[in-house]
């Protein structure tokens, strides 16, 4: 595959550039690619959003259905996040069971939604121990050009923000009501390129990266989830600085996540 052959040459080039404070696409170390969110892209879903970061495109659809609560949490609803890294989005993705790193994307996004208590699961309960809403957050990666975690999070939380509980369809209530979303977690991902730590890695930068760090923040100033990935290391000072940057970007991305539009 030509992709593997060019990887080494590109990696050297990317690291050389980073050493002089530059990036291949001309961005600064602390600059995202253009971000946009289109809300309501899929009308068959109870909520949906198409998120783009540069060429990376991710579609998320919410489905809300009645189901049974887990025996250990009879008063709480059920939240399931599932990311499909379909072969359409990259030449290296194969059909079949999800690869470990696809599972990582789902789980990191799931953790941020859960830990931020974006949704008060107790409000999804219909009859304790018997009936509750099950909230499926399905994330479909359409175009993988780097930084899937941030794009998946953005698509997922935007879709949740605009989801409607289909109470009428399932005979649970008189009228359909908006899903109550109380917090807006946002993931910001950074990669190390030599001594530089850059935000929103492109596909090529992810390949060259010497460590990846994702920080999820919410609007109340809490860090709600983190994930270090790839081979590489970060010092405590690196992490502190990265968290500050994650709050800065998080606040900007949150407005797009809530209202849609471009950044």
Partner 1 sequence: MGSVGAKEVPVLLSPEGIRVDGRRLDELRPLRVVAGPLHRADGSAFVEWGANKVMAAVYGPREVHPRHLQQNNKAIVQCKYNMAAFSVDERKRPGLDRRSQEISKVIAEAFESVIFAEEYPRTSIDVYIEVLQANAGTRCAGLVAASVALADAGIPMADLVPAVAVGKVAGEIVLDLNKAEDNFGEADLPMALVPQSGRLVLLQMEGHMTREELSRALDMGVKGCHVIYDKMKAALRDRYSAARPTEVAA
Shortest gap between Cβ of 240 and partner 1 (angstroms)?
Answer: 35
Shortest gap between Cβ of 134 and partner 1 (angstroms)?
Answer: 9
Q: Helix 148-161 and helix 236-259: axis angle, to 10°?
A: 40
Residue number, 19 or 88, with CB nearest to partner 1: 88
Residue number, 38 or 238, with CB nearest to partner 1: 38
Residue number, 38 or 120, with CB nearest to partner 1: 38
Alpha helices in 40-189, H assignment, sequence order: 100-115, 148-161
Residue number, 138 or 218, with CB nearest to partner 1: 138
Residue number, 85 or 226, with CB nearest to partner 1: 85
Shortest gap between Cβ of 54 and partner 1 (angstroms)?
Answer: 9
Considering only CA atoms, give the Rg of the chain.
19
Shortest gap between Cβ of 41 and partner 1 (angstroms)?
Answer: 8
Distance separating alpha carbons of residues 7 and 23, to the nearest angstrom? 16
Shortest gap between Cβ of 85 and partner 1 (angstroms)?
Answer: 11
- Interstrand relation of 35-39 and 47-53 (parallel, antiparallel or unpaired): antiparallel
Residue number, 69 or 156, with CB nearest to partner 1: 156
Specify whether the CB–CB gap between 32 and 249 falls below 8 A. Answer: yes
Shortest gap between Cβ of 259 and partner 1 (angstroms)?
Answer: 16
Specify whether the CB–CB gap between 123 and 16 falls below 8 A. Answer: no
Shortest gap between Cβ of 167 and partner 1 (angstroms)?
Answer: 11
Distance separating alpha carbons of residues 95 and 161, to the nearest angstrom? 31
* Residues at the interface with partner 1 (CB under 8 A): 1, 38, 41-45, 48, 50, 55, 57, 59, 61-63, 65, 82, 84, 86-91, 94-95, 136, 138, 140, 142-145, 166, 169-171, 203
Residue number, 121 or 141, with CB nearest to partner 1: 141
């Amino acid at each position: 595959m030509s992709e593997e052959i060019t990887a080494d040459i590109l990696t050297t080039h990317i690291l050389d550039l980073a050493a002089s404070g530059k990036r291949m696409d001309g961005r600064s170390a602390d600059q995202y690619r253009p971000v946009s969110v289109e809300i309501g892209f899929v009308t068959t879903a109870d909520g949906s959003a198409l998120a783009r970061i540069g060429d990376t495109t991710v579609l998320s659809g919410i489905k809300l259905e009645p189901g049974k609560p887990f025996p250990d949490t009879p008063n709480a609803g059920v939240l399931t996040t599932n990311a499909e890294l379909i072969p359409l989005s990259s030449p290296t993705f194969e059909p079949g069971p999800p690869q470990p790193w696809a599972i990582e994307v789902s789980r990191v996004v799931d953790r941020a939604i859960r830990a931020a208590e974006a949704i008060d699961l107790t409000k999804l309960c219909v009859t304790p121990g018997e009936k509750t809403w099950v909230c499926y957050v399905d994330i479909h990666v359409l175009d993988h050009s780097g930084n899937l975690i941030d794009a998946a999070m953005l698509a997922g939380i935007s879709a949740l923000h605009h989801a409607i509980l289909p109470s009428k369809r399932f005979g649970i209530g008189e009228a359909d009501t908006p899903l109550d979303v109380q917090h807006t977690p946002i993931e910001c991902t950074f990669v190390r390129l030599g001594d530089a730590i850059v935000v929103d890695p492109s596909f090529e930068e992810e390949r060259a990266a010497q460590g990846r760090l994702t920080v999820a923040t919410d609007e109340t100033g809490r860090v709600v989830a983190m994930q270090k990935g790839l081979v590489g290391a970060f010092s405590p000072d690196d992490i502190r600085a990265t968290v500050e940057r994650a709050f800065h970007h998080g606040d900007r991305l949150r407005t797009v996540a809530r209202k849609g539009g471009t950044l």
